Amino acid sequence: MTVIDFTSRLKQSNLSKAQELVYEAHATTGVRKRVQLAKAALELSPLCAEAYEILGHSTSSQKKALEFYEKAVLAAEELLSDGFEEMKGDFWSFLETRPYMRAKAQLADELWAAGFAEESIKHYNDMIELNPNDNQGVRYILASQLLSLNKLEELDDLLKQYTTDCDATWPYTRLLLNIKRHGVSQQLEPYLLQAIKSNKYVPTFLIDPAQLPTELPVFISMGGESEAVSYVAYNLDAWQQHPEALEWLEQSVANMSV
């Protein structure tokens, strides 16, 4: 065995041990213990991306959270090394890519929350380029961001890329997209009917966001309230940019038999 082979095996062994500590951390309810286990995992292997993610979840500092998620992405990317380009296009189907994709999603989410909108959008676009099947559903988050920032041409391209989606996000996105472009008019009725057909609960939460639960649902039921909550949580800002649209929506729904 060469020195290079030995070093490689040692790194892999340490990473496996670090991953065991991460599993233990996930099963731990106490934050302090979870952080201790994550730090211990990183002492074994600085390439343990999930340990950085745990630290990111556990800190109250947005700046530190961003640093941890950035380290998670870099660590996961280093592990993929030479195979990165070869897996592009069908990325998620390779199990070894998933820590990278999960870390990248966490980083993109935190960047958006911190006000780094363009950086967040770039990460989501990168993820879709790597994995067009988008098993993580980041296209829906990206759509909400593009709407919020009025990047309508980019949103058009995204909608065209996923024409067979059955999620309620797309009908409501098309509805608001038309409002942004043409304003409120009778021409919106077909878009509204299609949106209501996909999920009748969305208008309730858009009109009265005080009804939204404090936490996002863990499981999403298509056409159900959980899907409506998830949609509105990500898209409320874009809708509230157009008070006239919300007023029209409320009046239209009141006149319909929903």
For residue 99, CA distances in Å to 6, 95, 175, 211 come to 24, 8, 35, 34
- Of 117, 127, 167, 126, nearest to 147 by C-alpha is 117
Please check the confidence at residue 72 and state whether its pLDDT lies above 50. yes
Prediction pTM value? 0.90
Q: What is the pLDDT of residues 132-167, one digit of tens each?
A: 999 999 999 999 999 999 999 999 999 999 999 989
Residues 109 and 124: beta-carbon distance below 8 Å: no
Reported as a pLDDT band with limits 50, 70 and 90, residue 84 is confident
**Angle between the N-to-C axes of helices 138-148 and 169-182, in degrees from 0 to 180, rounded to the nearest 10:** 10
Task: Give the residue among 31, 27, 39 at the shortest CA–CA distance from 68.
Answer: 39
Rounded CA gap, 34 and 110, in Å? Answer: 20
Listed residue (183, 170, 118) closest to 139, CA to CA: 170
Distance CA 207, CA 252 (A): 12
Are the CB atoms for 171 and 194 separated by under 8 Å?
yes
- Angle CA(199)–CA(149)–CA(164) in degrees, nearest 5? 40
Confidence of residue 3 (pLDDT cuts 50, 70, 90): very low
Average pLDDT over residues 209-234: 94
Better pLDDT: 23 or 82: 23
For residue 256, the model assigns a pLDDT of 83
Looking at residue 255, its pLDDT comes to: 87
Residue 226 has pLDDT above 60, yes or no: yes
- Which tokens in the block code for residue 123? 């990460």
Q: Helix crossing, 3-26 with 31-44: angle to 10°?
A: 180
d(C-alpha 55, C-alpha 106), whole Å: 12
Of 72, 112, 81, the closest CA to residue 8 belongs to: 81
The answer, yes or no, to whether residue 6 has pLDDT greater than 90, is: no
Q: Cβ distance 24 to 54 under 8 Å? A: no
Q: Where are the domains of the chain?
A: 153-258
Structural tokens at position 69: 């998620």
Torsion of CA 190, 192, 194, 197, to 10 degrees: -140
Indicate whether 31 pLDDT > 90.
yes
- Whether the pLDDT of residue 2 is over 50: the answer is no
Per-residue pLDDT averaged across 50-65, rounded?
97
What pLDDT score does 10 carry? 44
